[in-house]
Amino acid sequence: MIEFIADNLAPIMFVSLVVFLLLGYPVAFSLAANGLLFFIIGVELAPLSDSINLSWPLLNALPDRFWGVMSNETLLAIPFFTFMGIVLEKSGMAEDLLDTIGQLFGPIRGGLAYAVIFVGALLAATTGVVAASVIAMGLISLPIMLRYGYDRRVASGVIAASGTLAQIIPPSLVLIVLADQLGRSVGDMYAGALIPGLVLTGLYTGYIMLMSIIRPDSMPALPLEARSLGSGVTSLAVALVVAAAIAYGAHVFLYPTHGENADILGGTVGVLFIYIVALLDKGLKVNAMSRLAQQVIIVLIPPLALIFLVLGTIFLGIATPTEGGAMGAVGALILAAAKGRLNLDVIRQALAATTRLSSFVLFILIGARVFSLTFYGVNGHLWVEHLLVSLPGGETGFLIAVNILVFFLAFFLDFFELAFIIVPLLAPAADKLGIDLIWFGVLLGINMQTSFMHPPFGFALFFLRSVAAKVPYIDKITGKKIAPVTTGQIYWGAVPFVCIQLVMVALTIMLPQMVMHYKGDASTVDPSTITIDVPGFGGQGLGLPDNGGGLGLPGGLQLPGGNPLEQPPAAPDGGQNGGTNGGAGGQPAPAAPANDLSQPPSFN
């Protein structure tokens, strides 16, 4: 029995960790306690099994492993992006966006749902924090959607799902952690995840469009009296055309001096122009634009500028993700100050939330380092790799099995736990099978996004439940009594979007180029096809074998006339040796000078 335990210590250790987590113990302490407990067991059982490589001196490696976690500059981006997201939430940006975009899409069926998806994508690209997005949209949009007759399951589902877009659309915190665990660049992970994030947003939109046709009563259009900004889509379209024309003109003007950067600079000029015009039109009360056009331009451009400041500089190679996060934090402070909502209380709340999340991540990482020290010491990584590589179906079978595993584990674990416990075990097997780790990371990120929407443990569902009405209430605008939103309605509303997530996982597997575009158009070189020919510089005079007029090496480099150390004298007839001795035009080549190797070389 003892020998069996010693030979199977790795799977026993893994199962024990799962039991610890299911019992509800904190993840960081479960990892550390499990690692230390099995380290003691492993040291005692080491003489009984060749697969256990543990000894007491190995504990001296822990301080270095802890220092490696704390000195990781990549993870420094997490507190920056968290701080940026909390400040933007407190600045009221989400409220302004939802109100404005809701007015823009209000006249069509499902307009409020489209607005929630669009704003969810924008918040994801500026905050990267699921809790902030879901809570903000739940507080602002859910009462409005209920007021105007939206189906409760549709309303709650679209809010929960749109909030989780922050998991896959850069600058996602999940992508930072995945890049760190996979040993890949955060910038490459961001570039690879951008198109899948936008495609997923499009799938959400397509579902709402389908539902508005099949069940039009579940998502009515806003009534005319609710459209406080009035109409004015034509004015907005004219403003956008003018901005595009100015951007194109600036591009043509700047191209001779700025080259490829002219398109970015031209677009910046066009956006700044229309933004300044909208501000002046509203401030001076000229009203050349409609109120709707003014509001859309003034509200949308600042967050879009912040997105460019963060993601644009990262994708252009101007800033690292950590530097981009720092600029985003400063930009969020500027936006909050411009709205007059920056005060000491906002900063205090943002710092407190940032400290909590950063400490949470750090403690899990430290616990994971303790666990991995023991797990690797009992060859657990080899056990997992052999188990996964041996799956039938090769690469496809591996991807299907891993995604099913992650999908079911997401019922019980959140994305941080999955990223720190499961991903380090999966990455070596994926790499051995030749799977691109950026593609693999984005695929796991899309799958782990469902952990926020899984009934009954999805965190996005908990966030929405915390702000949704639990008892009937009287609406302030209409004076009608509004029924509460039940937990079952929230859960059932999330199910269609979980199915959409699974469709997105399948699309990412079938269409890997959605992610692989991050490599650009650079051609790849197979190292096995590279040959290096070393030239020769002599022959028999150097004591090396000669293959016919040169040094006995492949591709030997020879001067005219063969071996320079054994150059024959010029032919007396001046012509017969001209061809063989390199003479031009039939003239004999000059005799080579004598080479006295006992003297220093002469450079006359």
Given phi > 0 = left and psi -120 to 50 = alpha, else beta, which region is 379?
left
Q: Please, what is the average pLDDT of the chain? A: 79
Kindly provide the b/e burial profile for residues 542-555, where b requires at least 16 CB atoms within 10 angstroms of the residue's own CB: eebebeeebbebee
The predicted pLDDT at position 598 comes to 53
Residues 6+ apart with CB under 8 A from 231: 107, 290, 292
Most confident of 198-207, 305-314, 373-382, 528-537: 198-207
* Model confidence, pTM: 0.74
Place of tokens 């500027």: 334
Mean of pLDDT values over 548-558: 44
Higher pLDDT, 557 or 462: 462
Higher pLDDT, 219 or 452: 219
Mean pLDDT of 300-317: 82
Residue 526: CB atoms within 10 A of its CB come to: 6
- The tokens of 360 are what? 């949470």
Mean pLDDT, residues 295-318 taken together: 83
Of the pLDDT bands very low, low, confident and very high (cuts 50, 70, 90), residue 480 is confident
State pLDDT tens for residues 270-292.
889 999 999 998 888 888 888 88
For residue 595, name the pLDDT band (cuts at 50, 70, 90).
Answer: low
Query: Residue 198, exposed/middle/buried by CB under 10 A (0-12, 13-18, 19+)?
Result: middle
Q: What is the pLDDT of residue 200?
A: 93
Query: Is residue 123 within 8 Å of residue 132, measured between CB atoms?
Result: yes
From 445, 580, 411, select the one nearest 175 (Cα to Cα). 445
What percent of the chain has pLDDT above 70?
85
Confidence of residue 529 (pLDDT cuts 50, 70, 90): low
Cα separation of 194 and 442, whole Å? 10
Beta carbons of 94 and 140 less than 8 angstroms apart: yes
Q: Distances from the Cα of 218 to the Cαs of 22, 149, 161, 204, in angstroms?
A: 38, 7, 18, 16
Run of H or E residues at 19: helix 9-22
- The Cα–Cα gap between 597 and 604 comes to 16
What is the structure's pLDDT at 533? 59
Residue 523: the pLDDT is 46
Identify whether the C-beta of residue 361 lies closer than 8 Å to the C-beta of residue 78: yes
Over the stretch 23-52, which tens digit does the pLDDT of each residue have? Answer: 878 888 888 888 888 888 888 887 777 777
